[in-house]
Structure 1
């Protein structure tokens, strides 16, 4: 009986640490403006150490009852919580993350106790956990909204007067169907501590899913540096990246004390379950450089608005609205750094370029130049993205100067807000009037009410519509542009003739703002002239082997990341989503119109068959990006057309 009491104490202690200390988490790392803060002090490292040590010592004291092996197992499982930096209890991205860890520990203790034939009164444990459900996992509170304010908030709150948090930044991506995580046999079935949240690793027949790196190389890698060109310029692809950064910003999981993760470094201790690395197969390109592992950190977890904790949800740092967040940011602190606070203008640096970031960065220091600052923290990822952000900052300032000239009584704040409203309208009009018709067929544009009116006002707003960006859209469909990325980019002079400088290679345009600064006009003219590649299964080697590389061999693989991210986010397979949108599914690795991959060519299906065990196992990004479009004037196939059309429909109706 003494053993039972100790197990109960240990388990309740786990929940107490989660409940008491997590309620004190402020969430400053992710600027969570919707989290409530409690007026309590930050716990000291010594307090946390003492609590955990006490539990371990009590278990050890009952050596005779619990048996040495059981004590060693519990002690080893608690090693993560006892020996690593105790700030683990505070520096987790969101409360639900640590509650999840505590639940896993409780489940593990319960299963272990059952194996040792120890009777554990789980009813008492569950009663305690249910009592803390909302205290631990429900951080949201309603923001204060005023109907008298005619302008948008910076973070997307109050867009919907009935549900003011819908679409706001720092909330969960929306799910369109039940998550598809790896199934587990959970001890506390049907409780707050029961859920499947590990990335899928097995297919429908319980065979292991293929390695994402293997899929990338065998299905997506190009055998040439030049691939088929589409009917749109590269600006089309660049606009897609700009939209993706405006609507979505996935928060990466982080290590202890907010340190960036080193998932492939076995000497670095990382939080349990946060890494989901990919093995590099024998004979692979990366093997020549001594690499055996592609690091992959899972996305940061967040609770949904119902605070049930039933599913692992994914944090979106951006607002779901097409509101210029990549230009202006989504929190007031960032916005203050971007504004000039005179004449409604945004800050610029020399030659009307983006302002210079004062945040130290090793990559920038190596180039002898600082990174640019924009509303989007990822602006320096790609030279073209710097260019399009620069265009919009200059356009904002141009319009602000006109408004200031015609409205001399307006102060800085009024000019800024009016200008921002105009810029947002321009972004939305370009997207719906010019961008979407290149992606979505005419009949689907009408079906989803995406065609703009020639005059008058749109009357289709519905406050009951949930406008949030879906996990599927953000993780799968919106990434179709990765297939359209070029390997090289030409420099074009002011007469739109090729410059004397050789074409720029994609691998040299990641995190290199100095290249933009020296060639900004030529680069943007070139991207307005170069054609995008077609959207198909083929992805440039620059993305497959050289993503973000700083020296040959240390790059990453974007298609593999896309595939693994879909599994990380609990998204089902390609067939699941075809069925979800009323499209036919493939039951065989053929191109049969009735039972096969009817929207793919035979070469693609053969490559699917070579790596997947069953058609249901095909990953949604791989299956979707490989579809035939049916028209050379459309960028994507049927599945992605439906996903994208549905997302922009709810954005329009729920905005």
Structure 2
């Protein structure tokens, strides 16, 4: 009877057209296996949610992994509904299933296949595109289309999958959770960090994690997260507070789609999928799946170069190819221009929240080594010390070699914590000419008008003017009363007269969607004090007024959402994050380094001569080699003035490639 219920539940998913139980007790399905919720946009204008969906839409093998997890989760949910009539009181469905029954469900849903371990070759000197077999003993560690790591157990409203804050009036530690939407204004310039410091952090983040949206439809319902203000999976809409300064309609909400789950046959607790590799391997350029990686390469020769755009160039330098889609979202940012989105290893990188140009740095014929291995060195030698300040050596001690027991998988909490960079984004995008002067009358563009606007790269001067702006502009300084600019909090992905999204609210809602524990749980995890009252929280934040606001909203520091609580902490000395973020970010980057068999300093990966050559890698050199910019600062992450802080590219050391030629001989 149980498995008849299970088989029936598959048809409820609308993912199969018919299903029967064969003589051996297995479910046999026929018809379509997957129905994607994404609808064709057609001739209508694109909404802000359409742009967000486009960036989070699962592709290739990610869809198969999500499909299996959706089968599993929805099947268990439907089984629980049917068994409520037979089991009294509250119960977890996995508690009433035998081990054998769980195994059968895991196989029938496809989860068993998704979480299988593969046999790795004894000798492999190159990374796989999927990240598999970096760790030969545990082939899936750090691989794409697997779950995030959990450093603390997930906290869901029902203990399994429902996000906290879902049930109105429900108390947590004796208090209800507040709505995630709030307002903020004003900007203070960072007098020590350049805007490219912010941009590098987002560039690195897009190399480490991507959490696509789920697309399941349940119980024969067509779910429209764009318009629905009730919790109907996969929708978890953001409710609008009654005193909202912008949105006055009490029946309005902000759309929000839950992150797609991944198979978790061990505990059956909802876990989110990371669609790309956890390693610093430039996967945002080259992809994390074989079909995608092949599709963005030049297949006319064996050089392994990126495919280039056949319609346009950037003043003679190659641009990435366009998406092969008749309804590319970027078309809607300027219909007259008819310019689709660029295609790359990760859509979020080339249609960035701020600029659509990142992958261009690898689109020339410069050796791949100049980008891939420079990514390691620039991040750990130049970027992280400016971010973590005096906590750098404590959190990321000197390298002692590859540790097979270290799990490099990106942690779920890191995927939220590293969004601290949203607080450093300026409200305008500046484009400068070769003399670092404003590029024409429209050199400064409001941020929201650059989202997904690939036409601006093609028609308004290319990549170089954007990079020059990054080099001389200041990052925004994160202050406790100036966290995220209004361009991101009120106009995210706004291109037409439709209410834009709120990035801060999305971050807070995403933390609850992912079941992340609250502020104090992470303070304890990091060995920091856990404030219990207003006085103690005031001391931690060094701001009694902000502490009181938190206490009024949350009731207790235990309930403070991790993203905003960690962001609110004063910076560590010489850094740009507080102690909690320094701990989480530092721990993640240490694991990424020590658990990576291909880390550039690991003996056997490179010769001593090659390591010496790589040590001269620098972001200024990458810019000189891949753009027409001829003057750069030596230290690009710090604030620089033109021309006094700039030098000619001839003064910037290049990587000596002769150690590789000698090895090949």
Bin for the TM-score computed over the shorter chain: 0.7 to 0.9
Among residues 511, 514, 524, which one is paired with 1:566 in the alignment? 511
Cα distance in structure 2, aligned partners of 1:198 and 1:574: 19
TM-score norm. by structure 1 comes to 0.74
What secondary structure is seen at the aligned counterpart in 2 of 1:287?
coil
Mark the runs of 5 or more structure 2 residues left unpaired by the alignment: 17-25, 34-62, 597-665
The residue correspondences of 1:405-416 to structure 2 (distance < 5 A) are none
Alignment of 1:14 with 2:5, yes or no, is yes
Q: Indicate the residue corresponding to 1:413 in structure 2.
A: none
Among residues 316, 325, 332, which one is paired with 1:359 in the alignment? 325
User: Given the superposition, is the C-alpha separation of residues 265 and 156 from structure 1 closer, same or farther in structure 2, using an over 3 Å criterion?
Assistant: same
Q: Indicate the residue corresponding to 2:20 in structure 1.
A: none
Report the number of matched residues: 529
Q: Indicate the residue corresponding to 1:316 in structure 2.
A: 274
The residue correspondences of 1:375-454 to structure 2 (distance < 5 A) are 375-382=345-352, 384-394=354-364, 397-399=365-367, 419=368, 421-442=369-390, 444-451=391-398
Q: Could you tell me whether the CA contact under 8 Å between 1:327 and 1:393 is conserved in 2?
A: no
- Give CA deviations for 1:108-144 in whole Å, capped at 9, x if unaligned: 333334579xxxxx99965763452542442222334
- Give CA deviations for 1:151-180 in whole Å, capped at 9, x if unaligned: 111010010111111100000000001111
User: Given the superposition, is the C-alpha separation of residues 563 and 266 from structure 1 closer, same or farther in structure 2, using an over 3 Å criterion?
Assistant: closer
Cα distance in structure 1, aligned partners of 2:27 and 2:550: 55
Alignment of 1:610 with 2:601, yes or no, is no
User: Given the superposition, is the C-alpha separation of residues 160 and 99 from structure 1 closer, same or farther in structure 2, using an over 3 Å criterion?
Assistant: same
Q: Could you tell me whether the CA contact under 8 Å between 2:523 and 2:529 is conserved in 1?
A: yes
Q: Indicate the residue corresponding to 1:132 in structure 2.
A: 104
1:466 shift after superposition:
0.7
Q: Could you tell me whether the CA contact under 8 Å between 1:547 and 1:558 is conserved in 2?
A: yes
Alignment of 1:43 with 2:30, yes or no, is yes
Q: Indicate the residue corresponding to 2:227 in structure 1.
A: 265
Cα distance in structure 1, aligned partners of 2:103 and 2:131: 32
Cα distance in structure 2, aligned partners of 1:123 and 1:438: 48
What secondary structure is seen at the aligned counterpart in 2 of 1:440?
helix
**Which shifted more, 196-205 or 462-471?**
196-205
Q: Indicate the residue corresponding to 2:156 in structure 1.
A: 181
The residue correspondences of 1:282-321 to structure 2 (distance < 5 A) are 282-288=242-248, 292-304=252-264, 307-321=265-279
Q: Indicate the residue corresponding to 2:289 in structure 1.
A: 331
Q: Indicate the residue corresponding to 1:198 in structure 2.
A: 162
Q: Indicate the residue corresponding to 2:83 in structure 1.
A: 110
Q: Could you tell me whether the CA contact under 8 Å between 1:236 and 1:532 is conserved in 2?
A: yes
Q: Indicate the residue corresponding to 2:179 in structure 1.
A: 211
Q: Could you tell me whether the CA contact under 8 Å between 2:240 and 2:254 is conserved in 1?
A: yes
Cα distance in structure 2, aligned partners of 1:17 and 1:425: 51
Q: Could you tell me whether the CA contact under 8 Å between 2:242 and 2:248 is conserved in 1?
A: no
Cα distance in structure 2, aligned partners of 1:371 and 1:260: 28
Q: Indicate the residue corresponding to 2:39 in structure 1.
A: none
User: Given the superposition, is the C-alpha separation of residues 114 and 438 from structure 1 closer, same or farther in structure 2, using an over 3 Å criterion?
Assistant: same
Cα distance in structure 2, aligned partners of 1:473 and 1:147: 32
Among residues 616, 631, 641, which one is paired with 2:582 in the alignment? 641
Q: Indicate the residue corresponding to 2:529 in structure 1.
A: 584
The residue correspondences of 1:495-574 to structure 2 (distance < 5 A) are 495-502=435-442, 503-517=444-458, 518-520=460-462, 521-537=464-480, 538-574=483-519
Q: Indicate the residue corresponding to 1:94 in structure 2.
A: 67
1:271 shift after superposition:
10
Alignment of 1:153 with 2:119, yes or no, is no
What secondary structure is seen at the aligned counterpart in 2 of 1:586?
coil
Alignment of 1:486 with 2:426, yes or no, is yes
Q: Could you tell me whether the CA contact under 8 Å between 1:536 and 1:625 is conserved in 2?
A: no
What secondary structure is seen at the aligned counterpart in 2 of 1:519?
coil
**Which shifted more, 551-560 or 601-610?**
601-610
1:244 shift after superposition:
1.2
- Give CA deviations for 1:507-526 in whole Å, capped at 9, x if unaligned: 10101011122233222111
Cα distance in structure 2, aligned partners of 1:448 and 1:91: 37
1:20 shift after superposition:
11
What secondary structure is seen at the aligned counterpart in 2 of 1:209?
coil
User: Given the superposition, is the C-alpha separation of residues 123 and 654 from structure 1 closer, same or farther in structure 2, using an over 3 Å criterion?
Assistant: closer
Q: Indicate the residue corresponding to 2:234 in structure 1.
A: 274
TM-score norm. by structure 2 comes to 0.73
User: Given the superposition, is the C-alpha separation of residues 130 and 147 from structure 1 closer, same or farther in structure 2, using an over 3 Å criterion?
Assistant: closer
Cα distance in structure 1, aligned partners of 2:511 and 2:534: 22
Q: Indicate the residue corresponding to 2:609 in structure 1.
A: none
How large is the Cα RMSD of the aligned pairs?
Answer: 3.2
Cα distance in structure 2, aligned partners of 1:536 and 1:150: 46
Q: Indicate the residue corresponding to 1:599 in structure 2.
A: 541
Alignment of 1:477 with 2:477, yes or no, is no
Q: Could you tell me whether the CA contact under 8 Å between 1:432 and 1:450 is conserved in 2?
A: no
**Which shifted more, 255-264 or 548-557?**
255-264
Decide which structure has the larger Cα Rg and report it: 1
Q: Could you tell me whether the CA contact under 8 Å between 1:383 and 1:515 is conserved in 2?
A: no
Cα distance in structure 2, aligned partners of 1:449 and 1:283: 44
1:562 shift after superposition:
0.5
Q: Indicate the residue corresponding to 1:51 in structure 2.
A: none
Q: Could you tell me whether the CA contact under 8 Å between 1:488 and 1:504 is conserved in 2?
A: yes
Q: Could you tell me whether the CA contact under 8 Å between 1:254 and 1:261 is conserved in 2?
A: no
1:425 shift after superposition:
1.2
User: Given the superposition, is the C-alpha separation of residues 260 and 165 from structure 1 closer, same or farther in structure 2, using an over 3 Å criterion?
Assistant: farther
Cα distance in structure 2, aligned partners of 1:300 and 1:477: 19
Cα distance in structure 2, aligned partners of 1:157 and 1:127: 28
Cα distance in structure 2, aligned partners of 1:336 and 1:385: 25
Q: Indicate the residue corresponding to 1:119 in structure 2.
A: none
What secondary structure is seen at the aligned counterpart in 2 of 1:262?
coil
Mark the runs of 5 or more structure 1 residues left unpaired by the alignment: 1-8, 26-38, 47-89, 117-121, 185-194, 400-418, 452-457
